Amino acid sequence: MNIYDIAKLAGVSIATVSRVVNDSPKVSERTKAAVLKVMEENNYTPNVFARGLGLGSMKSVGIVCPDVADAYMAKAVSYLEKNLRGYGYDCILYCSSYDEEDKRQAVDLIFKKQIDALILVGSNYSDVNGQAPDYVQEAASQIPVFLINGYLSHNNIYCVLADDFQSVYDITEELLFSGKKRILFLYNSNSYSAKRKRQGYMDALAAHGMEADGELMLYCENSIYAMRDKLLCKRNLVFDSVIATEDWLAVGALKYASATGIRVPEAINIIGYNNSELSISCTPELSSVDNRVEVLCKTAIDSLMSLLGGQQIPRRQMIKCHLIKRQTTDF
């Protein structure tokens, strides 16, 4: 039994339960009596989180990401920290790596720091079926858990994510409308985000009466030269455009075009993802999807503060992406 169970049984917010625990005058006697009755019936003993919630006594949020060396995750952590600081909150950061046991240990360790909430960066904190692992569920039973750019359907887990499906769907359609017939899709993982991008690509093709060709859906590690070399090994593969789930892969395709004398964008269009520094560091400059990580992180922190203040917030919030057109596209 935890504070969320008590709030649900009493029909009030978790902030109201916290105010009752702390004998706040902002709660009516009738509400206080109802909450206390539920607590007594269920032998509930308030923990430090219940005492601190809504009263600003801890002012600390835990952030866990697989690898802060990753450019996207580094930007996300930076924006999260900046927005938390704006609300007067500190953050504690743990890098968990991608190993399942390491992720479990990172969440367990940071959870012991008496944090108000936990933020997980990326869609790697789910099992193969897209469900919350037991260690994430355990954290969510005690404090709010926010997932950045991923989705988990579970009580007290709140997800803020880029609309990757729609952005890739729209891009694929634009390429088809411009006369492209063989669109190469490059991806480097099977994360929730990557799967949504792939589904957008496949659904757009289907909407135009085309089946996705497995030969045109190419997996590669997130490396420029690995991507270039993989395409060089597939010289017989015919394609007239490229959509990549990462800028690294798109630049790899650009390197391949340069090595083989293929003119970009005249012969092929190339589109990357994340609108990273790579997109303006290459020649020609890369068209790339801006998944608006700054807006995404601000939305997450604003929503977290509303939740800690006792307000209801959506379990899932989707942020629209923008395609930034540069010199590798001509549609």
CA angle 75, 80, 83 (to 5 degrees): 125
Q: Enumerate the β-bridge partners of residue 120.
A: 64, 147
> How far is the CA of 65 from the CAs of 42, 72, 97, in angstroms?
36, 11, 7
Instruction: Give the pLDDT score at 112.
Output: 81
Start-to-end CA distance of the chain, whole Å, equals 57
Assign a CATH topology to domain 60-162+293-319.
Answer: Rossmann fold (3.40.50)
Q: Which CATH architecture has domain 164-291?
A: 3-Layer(aba) Sandwich (3.40)
Give the β-pairing of 322-324 and 287-290. Answer: antiparallel
> How long is the chain?
331
Predicted local distance difference test score (pLDDT) of residue 51? 47
CATH topology of domain 3-52: 434 Repressor (Amino-terminal Domain) (1.10.260)
Q: What per-residue confidence (pLDDT) applies to 58?
A: 66
Check: CB of residue 244 under 8 Å from CB of residue 186: yes
Residue 134 CB neighbours (<10 A): 10
Whether the Cβ atoms of residue 154 and residue 162 lie closer than 8 Å to each other: no
Name the pairing type of β-strands 241-244 and 90-95.
unpaired
Confidence (pTM): 0.79
Q: Where are the domains of the chain?
A: 3-52, 60-162+293-319, 164-291
10-residue mean pLDDT series, the chain (331 residues): 80 80 80 90 68 58 92 92 94 91 91 88 76 88 91 91 97 97 95 92 97 96 96 95 97 98 97 96 97 96 91 93 97 91
Identical fold, 60-162+293-319 and 164-291: yes
pLDDT on residue 141: 86
